[in-house]
Amino acid sequence: MTNPLRSDWDTPFTLPPFAAIETAHFAPAFEAALEEARGEISAITANPAPPDFENTIEALEKAGHGLNKVLAPFYHLSGTDSTPEREALMRSFSPKLAAYSSDVMLDEALFARVQAVWDARDGLGLGPEQARLLELTHRNFIRAGAALAGDGRARLREINGRLAELGTAFSQNLLADERTWFMPLSEADLEGLPGFVVDAAASAAAERDQSGHIVTLSRSLIVPFLQFSPRRDLRKTAFEAWGARGANGGETDNRAMTAEMLALRHERVRLLGFDSFADYKLETEMARTPGNVRDLLMAVWEPAKARADKDAAILEEMLVADGHSAPLEPWDWRFYAERRRKIEHDLDEAEVKPFFSLDAMIEAAFDCANRLFGLEFAPLEVDGPHPDARLWNVTRDGTHIAVFIGDYFARAGKRSGAWCSALRSQQRLEGDIRPHVVNVCNFAKPPAGQAALLSYDDARTLFHEFGHALHQMLSDVTYDSLSGTSVPRDFVELPSQLYEHWLEVPEVLERFARHADTGAAMPKDLLERVLGAATYDMGFQTVEYVASALVDLSFHDGPPPADPMQKQAEVLEALGMPRAIRMRHATPHFAHVFSGGYYASAYYSYMWSEVMDADAFEAFQEAGSAFDADMARKLEADILSRGGSEEPDVLYTRFRGRLPDVTALLKGRGLQDAA
């Protein structure tokens, strides 16, 4: 039988044939594709012709596409619809891929060819994009240890393999804790919960083959439960389970694993000549140094903590007035903050949520992309990766631009959070290859026949991930390695966070914030209250984020801690972390940092990008309209289409004429007068 992962795909837009792909297909396809990729690398090193840009750098760019063809659908399915079989495959693939990567990056003959092209670069007549690809390729080899010799190279291979195993185990442990825990709710326990929370709890129970209602560790369910349940005991149980992910003892406990990962990262970069992992990681980011990161975070921490301390005092008074004993605890904050929002802003999420249906917010995101960039979205009736996934053909002026896939609902086999990925990236090296872009979210799935309702924060998440998707869709470069979101971590969040601003544009909400049942537009006074409360509780939101970013930085800026949990506690104590606020991501479930390390020493990057996104949206406001055509063309030409083809500070300065400072960020968060 033909393995679909090793065949040509005769599907619309050559999408993966998900209906034909079985879990059993992955292992043989992976082994064959891995061997093929090794052969492609060997062909480069065995080439008798002198090394040049085409036979070495571009040949490297082309190598491994068959492997990517297998891994793209595999990792997507593993993240969104995990099974024990797929988890076992991931544990098998991970060390093999790490070994392959080490073999490529530590191949002396291959690096000699790359070095020869690099040394001859001034006389090659390369265009700007070619020169950029050569620069990054050479830099990546150096940073991967290609210049090491002897025992150092061997040890580096060992470290890379072990880190790959640990990152996979961390993710699977976290998913296991999230998948297995739930709290049954009796009819009495539902008292005080708005209908949308009751419905979500019923759907969660049905999805897990339970009767009645349950609370799970999905953010889209547990957060509204913490906001609305008047039962302090139930809130405490749910919150503590949420905070204990990865720290429950037994086989899924991640705490010892984090210590080993931090030690291995430090050892790895010391071999490469860096003082710390943070120095290594930030060398290629916009921030450049740990000191610059800490300066930004502390500039925001002080006013955010001042605001949070004032808010905590008010919420504690409300707690005591209800007859409970002080102090205010972390499982109390969201409940009393929601009640205070009702009092001060006359805003109740149960009143707001019917105006933010999932379908309407998807339509709003699409409409903004149409008005800004001329994109049009037509539904595709083809097999997707999951029955809940929806697909669209994206066009501009009748020309195909991308396929967009949205997978929006939480389920037991799906890892938490929200993300954007590409099953295939844009490039022109091997033809006009258009991207297949995926947005994954974890919104609460409604009962059959009912509209999915989002919170305002959920709607922001949808716009955020769609901003990433636009970065992929509008990419216009030659090389896959420079395409779309292939940019430094502290720049990649600019397009996503910038796009969130269009949700706040009054004319967008006036058109799309319509009642899910009646179709009525959101009343003007309610719209004004929603926008007026946009920075409500920002002290809490900023403190929980910045605390996580500072802990991450402290883990990596210097020798590794023997006990990361103790180090976490020390950092938070030194900051004066408010008692009633916890880190957004505690160490045992800090997937950004430990699930492969994509954001290790770089969780700050959301805030670094926020400095730019606040400033960038001001450019539209200064032009007189959020939909100013000239500014939209400039945003696409200078940033969204360029991927990683130039340094991000060059791209941003071209767009805005200068680099921003923290002022716009503090203003955007309503913290400019907080300290």
pLDDT, tens digit (0-9, with 9 covering 90-100), for 570-606: 999 999 999 999 999 999 999 999 998 889 999 999 9
What is the domain extent for residue 374?
354-523
User: pLDDT tens-digit profile of 46-81?
Assistant: 999 999 999 999 999 999 999 999 999 999 999 999
Claim to verify: residue 68 and residue 111 sit in the same structural domain: yes
pLDDT at 155: 96
Given 349, 465, 500, 610, the catalytic residue:
465
Closest CA to 300 of 584, 610, 617, 591: 610
Claim to verify: residue 258 and residue 240 sit in the same structural domain: no
In a domain, 297, yes or no: yes
Given a contact cutoff of 8 angstroms between Cβ atoms, the answer to whether 149 and 72 are in contact is no
In a domain, 343, yes or no: yes
Within 13 Å, how many C-alpha atoms sit on residue 181's CB side?
23
Claim to verify: residue 363 and residue 494 sit in the same structural domain: yes
pLDDT at 150: 86
In a domain, 626, yes or no: no
- Asked if residue 675 has pLDDT above 70, the reply is no
- Say how far apart CA 675 and CA 668 lie, in whole Å: 15
Claim to verify: residue 233 and residue 260 sit in the same structural domain: no
| Amino acid making up residue 528 | E
Phi-psi region of 386 (alpha: psi -120 to 50; beta: other; left: phi over 0): beta
Which strand (E) or helix (H) includes residue 213?
A: strand 213-216
Claim to verify: residue 542 and residue 497 sit in the same structural domain: no
- Say how far apart CA 536 and CA 457 lie, in whole Å: 12
| Amino acid making up residue 24 | A
Read off the pTM. 0.94
In a domain, 667, yes or no: no
- Cα of first residue to Cα of last residue in the chain, in angstroms, is 68
Total count of domains within the chain: 4
pLDDT at 348: 87
CATH code, domain carrying 11: 1.20.1050.40
CATH code, domain carrying 329: 1.10.1370.10
- Asked if residue 372 has pLDDT above 70, the reply is yes
User: pLDDT tens-digit profile of 313-330?
Assistant: 999 999 999 999 999 999
Claim to verify: residue 397 and residue 439 sit in the same structural domain: yes
User: pLDDT tens-digit profile of 179-221?
Assistant: 999 999 999 999 999 999 999 999 999 999 999 999 999 999 9
In a domain, 152, yes or no: no
What's the chain's length in residues?
A: 675
- Categorize the per-residue pLDDT at 386 as very low, low, confident or very high, splitting at 50, 70 and 90: very high
Claim to verify: residue 502 and residue 410 sit in the same structural domain: yes
- Asked if residue 152 has pLDDT above 70, the reply is yes
Longest dimension (CA), the chain: 83
| Cβ neighbourhood burial of 109 (10 Å; 0-12, 13-18, 19+) | exposed
Mean model confidence pLDDT for the chain: 96
Q: Provide mean pLDDT across the span 651-672.
A: 91
| Cβ neighbourhood burial of 120 (10 Å; 0-12, 13-18, 19+) | middle
Helix axes of 538-556 and 255-271: crossing angle, nearest 10 degrees: 50
Given a contact cutoff of 8 angstroms between Cβ atoms, the answer to whether 156 and 148 are in contact is yes
pLDDT at 349: 86
Q: Tell me which of 245, 270, 291 is where a domain ends.
A: 245
| Cβ neighbourhood burial of 451 (10 Å; 0-12, 13-18, 19+) | middle
- Asked if residue 352 has pLDDT above 90, the reply is yes
User: pLDDT tens-digit profile of 4-58?
Assistant: 999 999 999 999 999 999 999 999 999 999 999 999 999 999 999 999 999 999 9
Claim to verify: residue 336 and residue 360 sit in the same structural domain: no
Q: Tell me which of 569, 603, 637 is where a domain ends.
A: 603
Share of the chain above pLDDT 70, in %: 100
In a domain, 611, yes or no: no
CATH code, domain carrying 462: 1.10.1370.40
- Categorize the per-residue pLDDT at 673 as very low, low, confident or very high, splitting at 50, 70 and 90: confident
Given a contact cutoff of 8 angstroms between Cβ atoms, the answer to whether 385 and 408 are in contact is no
Q: Provide mean pLDDT across the span 409-423.
A: 94
Phi, psi angle pair for 15, to nearest 5° = -70, 155
Claim to verify: residue 290 and residue 311 sit in the same structural domain: yes
Q: Rounded to the nearest 10 degrees, how much is the dihedral formed by the CA atoms of 569, 573, 575, 581? A: 70
**Residues paired with residue 424 on neighbouring β-strands, in sequence order:** 436
Claim to verify: residue 370 and residue 470 sit in the same structural domain: yes
- Say how far apart CA 306 and CA 608 lie, in whole Å: 21
Q: Provide mean pLDDT across the span 283-291.
A: 96
- Asked if residue 244 has pLDDT above 80, the reply is yes
In a domain, 653, yes or no: no
In a domain, 60, yes or no: yes
Residue 272 DSSP class: T
| Amino acid making up residue 474 | L
- Say how far apart CA 526 and CA 79 lie, in whole Å: 38
Active site residue 465: yes
pLDDT at 665: 87
Given a contact cutoff of 8 angstroms between Cβ atoms, the answer to whether 540 and 337 are in contact is yes
What are the tokens at 29?
């396809």
| Cβ neighbourhood burial of 10 (10 Å; 0-12, 13-18, 19+) | exposed
Claim to verify: residue 10 and residue 99 sit in the same structural domain: yes
Claim to verify: residue 16 and residue 42 sit in the same structural domain: yes
Cis check: omega of the bond before 303, within 30 degrees of 0: no
pLDDT at 663: 86
Q: Tell me which of 570, 587, 603 is where a domain ends.
A: 603
